[in-house]
Structure 1
């Protein structure tokens, strides 16, 4: 006959238990909830964005999915739904709804913020479709996908009701299980994330090793006791804004930002940065290989860097890689579209399985070219690697 663990044993076990497993036990075992709330939660890596919540090995992913009750679901929508849905808010037509976080930054490359931008997008897709249909052996899958992307635009243009409904989906992924919940789309993603964070962490005391916030302030009922490394984009002022409800309760707070030591090793062959530097720092880096770990991707800074390289030139083999969360891939795609619009830019064939666009632009000396593309990270399917590389023409 088994004997239940007493309270002291449970406290000893729970204080060092994986936070994802602990939260799972608290949800499924009501008798443990009070004890779980009393013991401070230790988390190594916490990342909160408008659509993702990473707690060490557990990920809570919010997205908008489409449900077609009366007609077949397009293949590209099936794929999108299976991966968690769109990581941004949409209108009744499934088109991206503009949302600005309460930050001083403005993304000048977000086409949804421009007047009548959806009409420009519709015309662009129509041109791409017409070009594909002129081929002697057109790609039927690409044509089908383009028709699927044009359909909601036509519904908006003709003011007709689309054949689908939008739902808010929560996907919980951990080492132990994967759970999916769908609910009515009554809150914007950032509001749903604030509610989710409040439900998970409310009235808890939390010790953090690494903390990253993107576009979502912490609810007032979340109590941080200690934070060792914190990254919030774009600057410390925004960090203070997001942490304002918690500043008085913190025993210690260490902010890791763009310090001089990090950028002093400009002559090293390889340089790894753990936060996205501004354009003023990117321009200064003379390293041949730079890898910028997961952080907020700035399309504007990358475009300015491309323009700088095209004007001043860089050595053959110079390669800057940016680790990008899937939440921000729309920024990468917009960035590639803007690079493709530059003088003499063209698309190139790429061998990557997941890289619909690879853009190359001739460098000033006419013997080298700048290549820009992306691919899915081999180890983490939720990450992508965006690359800028100077190479020989046709390499």
Structure 2
């Protein structure tokens, strides 16, 4: 503990300027630092929450399940699997994926269960009897081929062929072993451990450390314990950008507050925001930005009030006319031409206030789509065509103008993204009358 006010203030001054992972490490190892650390707001530029991972700036903590063989050689595919991170789901003693158990939140935690939305529900599941039978037939064929090669005169090529068949036979037996054990009984020559992988940046290097624990409790319980150790009881976290992989089981202590600026949610954004709202500082709202991977509309006031709504990924069936945000960016692989035309028609008929601005990513290999969209809007006959000075020397040098009210205009134009020269943004923007007035005066 700090023995004087001076020591406390000195420690506080030092702690607040340390990187998050350094604070985590010191707080876990030094009681004097821990007492101060929990009270000093922690600033995190980028934070990521997943079912079995947590990232804070330059430190990544990941829980997985790895298989360890005792008394026998570890199969090649298990060596690779362990090297790639192991299992990211719960398994039984043979290594088969377990069906998700129902989890009820404790009084001091927030729980969001998005496992039903997980894209890889079949990964790790037990193969059906027909598939196992096919594997067994393939093994028998490999053994017959090996036996035939063994009986023939030995040459260097045949020795290599026999060695290759032996490897394939061993791999086939290793793959079939769990199924044979399940069918015939017996104990496997392996067990499973929970692995904690920690990646931290030290200078210009990434340092990786591993810790292994008995697999006596579910992996998600180990992840909750880890996050509690790192985050629970903190007076305040100032997070600029939070990304939540919500297609899984998200568990986190409610004994903290997060002051947040931007958030990205992989699925069910409205439900996720409702679940975590109680740990978000009220000063977080309105959020500067919300990124979603769905089409909307979004029945959530935290999403609707965000200064910027970004719709990304392969969201289909866009409902842009039903979204109420003033600033929206759609970052899809294809320019949604029909949706943009529908949106323009909607704005012309219903009107929009100054400040509404929707933009759409146009990749370097999608310029012809932007050309097509501009031509289709021209043919509709609503727009005056202008060539402002700032666009005159660019790839898309025209701006389409439509008078919304006596004092506002709708501008349609395509310009280079300020952060990426390989991307353009197709814009629909309602602002105070400027370009139309110039055109009309000319």
TM-score by length of 2: 0.53
Change (3 A) 1:152 1:241: farther
User: How far apart are residue 32 of structure 1 and its match?
Assistant: 0.9
1:122 paired residue among 128, 132, 135 = 132
8 A contact 1:44–1:56 mirrored in 2: yes
Distance in 1 separating the partners of 2:316 and 2:137 = 34
Aligned pairs for 1:342-353 within 5 A: none
Larger radius of gyration: 2
- 1:21 partnered with 2:22: yes
Distance in 2 separating the partners of 1:171 and 1:200 = 15
Q: Equivalent residue of 1:212, what SS?
A: strand
Distance in 2 separating the partners of 1:16 and 1:252 = 22
Partner of 1:378: none
The runs of 5 or more residues in structure 2 that have no matched partner are: 1-5, 102-111, 150-160, 296-309, 319-329, 337-364, 367-442
User: How far apart are residue 278 of structure 1 and its match?
Assistant: 2.8
Change (3 A) 1:274 1:258: closer
8 A contact 1:51–1:87 mirrored in 2: yes
Partner of 2:283: 251
8 A contact 1:218–1:243 mirrored in 2: no
8 A contact 2:63–2:223 mirrored in 1: yes
8 A contact 2:240–2:262 mirrored in 1: yes
Partner of 1:88: 89
- 1:110 partnered with 2:147: no
Partner of 2:190: 164
Partner of 1:64: 65
Aligned pairs for 1:356-371 within 5 A: none
Partner of 2:268: 235
Q: Equivalent residue of 1:91, what SS?
A: coil
Aligned pairs for 1:270-281 within 5 A: 275-280=312-317
Partner of 1:226: 259
Q: What is the root-mean-square deviation in Å for CA atoms of aligned residues?
A: 3.7
Change (3 A) 1:60 1:258: closer
1:212 paired residue among 225, 236, 243 = 243
Change (3 A) 1:103 1:87: closer
Partner of 1:286: 334
The runs of 5 or more residues in structure 1 that have no matched partner are: 261-272, 289-316, 319-395
8 A contact 2:64–2:219 mirrored in 1: yes
Q: Equivalent residue of 2:171, what SS?
A: helix
Change (3 A) 1:45 1:149: farther
Aligned pairs for 1:4-83 within 5 A: 6-83=7-84
Q: Equivalent residue of 1:111, what SS?
A: coil
- 1:150 partnered with 2:176: yes
8 A contact 1:218–1:242 mirrored in 2: no
Change (3 A) 1:216 1:174: same
Aligned residues: 273
Partner of 1:192: 222
Q: Equivalent residue of 1:179, what SS?
A: strand
Q: Equivalent residue of 1:20, what SS?
A: helix
User: How far apart are residue 58 of structure 1 and its match?
Assistant: 0.9
User: How far apart are residue 202 of structure 1 and its match?
Assistant: 0.4
Change (3 A) 1:121 1:46: farther
Partner of 2:437: none
Distance in 1 separating the partners of 2:9 and 2:119 = 56
Change (3 A) 1:181 1:146: same
Distance in 2 separating the partners of 1:76 and 1:104 = 26
